[in-house]
Structure 1
Amino acid sequence: MERSPLFIQSFDKVMRVLEAFSQTEQYLGLGEIVALTGFDKPQAQRCTHTLVETGYLEKHPQTGRFCLGKKCLDLSFHFLRTHPLVTVATPILLQLRRDCGERTNLSLFDGTTLVYVIRLHGKREYPQFSTLMGRRMATFCSAGGRAMLAALPDDEVRAILAQSDLKPMTADTVTDPERIMVEIGRTRARGYGFVVNESAPSEVTVAAAVRDAAGRPVAAVHIAGSLTKWEPGEYEKRFSPFAVETARALSHAGAGQIQIGRGV
């Protein structure tokens, strides 16, 4: 793909080094960064040195291996504190969690994926890395993703599915595009997304789309529970009204002025 003359290649290289850490637990050596980015050793050295000097990477004093720096969190913090929907949604999601007692989340639509920006744990839930803010999930197999896709025309949905990595998350994940379209049709008819054991093992989730002033999906409200505690039909009946009502309230309270997630 031809790049614009405004594109800064050196900046792109630095960002690719940071993104390499999405594929590891914590530390990477210089050789591993070379292998993950495809850079030669001098390029990788310049990028890592720049990132250490600016605080976005930290270097272990004994091993010389690198990990993400605490300064990376600053960008996440400023994104969350300045995002109008997150600001409006935080007290509403807190009340939702108090009302239902289950994990309540808000995600933002980003085409083939959604990004969790509010994650409130259930009363008896042990937090794991998968419940952290900033996690991305595929739209095609998550309740919130299907709720947001259902708010789009079918041609846009098919374009998003064509760009998606339709990799199964569990043994029950629906990955066939035509079957996904059927599930999105059911979601559209219900007015909310509902998945059982598709996006995470032993998890049941209901979700509803938050829309902007044009009626386009910008976010989703999720309520997730455990199949060890709930029978799916009972869970859907009990919590789907909470998700739909909360999403509607957010659409009216602030999402109407937000234009994000154009999908393709």
Structure 2
Amino acid sequence: MSRNTLRAESGVRYLSDEQRADPLFTNSIARALQVLAAFHQADRPLSLSEIASRAGVDRSAAQRIVHTLRSLGYIARDADDRGFLPGIRILDHTLDYLRLNPLIQKATPVLLELRRNVRERVDLSLFDGQRVVYTARMQSKRETFYATLVGHSVPTFSSSGGWAILARLPQDEARDIIEASDRTPFTPRTLTDTDAIMEQIQLTQQRGYSIAVEQILLGEVALGVAINAPNGRPLGAIHVAGSLAEWTPEEFANRVAPLALEAARAINHS
């Protein structure tokens, strides 16, 4: 996967032996979802053979599944007839998730107020093991295409929100997530050594927030604060990102941390 997309490992889940043996588990549905998951790391339309290879099914099965999903609007033919793309019906399910998720419902007005106060990019991410997935993105004056997309993900081990989340986990669990991650660096400053990352997590525990400097993007400083379930387990994080051309990390933390911490408290208490 190209790091140019700034995307963490996708959420593909391959079938386990336990799932295959489960009498209630429907393999045909799982294969259809694997076909849809074939597009997760694609940067262009996919041919039928490419879909079959990425989904781990034979070409005949891929052909039947693609035909069915295409007839239902979940896969479409590229306008230039170069292959297949996800269909518009996928967006119906994205909308359902965003409007029905209680954390997103509670967090959105708080994040809008935080964005008005800090005048920098504010994101909400949800914790998904080795990655965090953005579910709300409130933009500032400096953005790229990928920084505007809901559903975009970044690694837990190297993101500000990821460090804030790991700081809320037992040390052994945090270390296991780091060591299981693909720690290919995004920038020359991306920390990839487990002990060095654990030092940042310990600093985050002491401060209550993380500061990540050029971990994902050169020239970016990002601050993260965890959002927790009532039992204290982290559900996700608030990220606030600024430019090193305008802020030193210390100035950014002094300005943003009190506001981000207050926003997290408001979401947690709701």
Is the CA contact 2:74–2:88 (under 8 Å) kept in the aligned structure 1? yes
Q: Map 1:63-74; keep pairs closer than 5 Å.
A: 63=81, 65-74=83-92
2:240 to 218, 223, 234: 223
| Cα distance in 1 for residues equivalent to 2:162 and 2:143 | 24
Match of 1:206 in 2: 223
Match of 2:31 in 1: 13
Is the CA contact 1:58–1:67 (under 8 Å) kept in the aligned structure 2? yes
Give the letter aligned to residue 184 of structure 2: K
Q: Deviations over 1:216-255 (max 9, x none)?
A: 11121111011222222211221111111111111001xx
SS at match of 1:104: strand
1:50 to 50, 57, 68: 68
Moved more, 81-90 or 126-135: 126-135
CA deviation after TM superposition for structure 1 residue 17, in Å: 1.4
1:168 to 181, 185, 188: 185
Q: 1:230 to 1:33 in 2, by over 3 A?
A: same
CA deviation after TM superposition for structure 1 residue 125, in Å: 2.4
Q: Map 1:107-256; keep pairs closer than 5 Å.
A: 107-122=125-140, 124-253=141-270
CA deviation after TM superposition for structure 1 residue 136, in Å: 1.2
Moved more, 232-241 or 139-148: 232-241
Match of 1:261 in 2: none
Match of 1:81 in 2: 99
CA deviation after TM superposition for structure 1 residue 128, in Å: 1.4
Match of 1:106 in 2: 124
Q: 1:43 to 1:107 in 2, by over 3 A?
A: same
Moved more, 55-64 or 2-11: 55-64
TM-score normalised to structure 1 length: 0.90
SS at match of 1:224: strand
Give the letter aligned to residue 154 of structure 1: Q
| Cα distance in 1 for residues equivalent to 2:80 and 2:199 | 55
Is the CA contact 1:27–1:66 (under 8 Å) kept in the aligned structure 2? yes
SS at match of 2:38: helix
| Cα distance in 2 for residues equivalent to 1:39 and 1:212 | 38
| Cα distance in 2 for residues equivalent to 1:237 and 1:196 | 15
Q: 1:167 to 1:158 in 2, by over 3 A?
A: same
CA deviation after TM superposition for structure 1 residue 127, in Å: 4.4
Give the letter aligned to residue 190 of structure 1: R
SS at match of 1:21: coil
SS at match of 2:23: coil
How many pairs does the alignment contain? 252
Q: Deviations over 1:89-118 (max 9, x none)?
A: 111111111111000111111121111111
Is the CA contact 1:207–1:244 (under 8 Å) kept in the aligned structure 2? no
Q: 1:61 to 1:180 in 2, by over 3 A?
A: closer
Tell me the percent identity.
42
Is the CA contact 2:160–2:212 (under 8 Å) kept in the aligned structure 1? yes
CA deviation after TM superposition for structure 1 residue 38, in Å: 3.5
TM-score normalised to structure 2 length: 0.88
CA deviation after TM superposition for structure 1 residue 62, in Å: 5.6
CA deviation after TM superposition for structure 1 residue 59, in Å: 1.5
| Cα distance in 2 for residues equivalent to 1:222 and 1:161 | 19
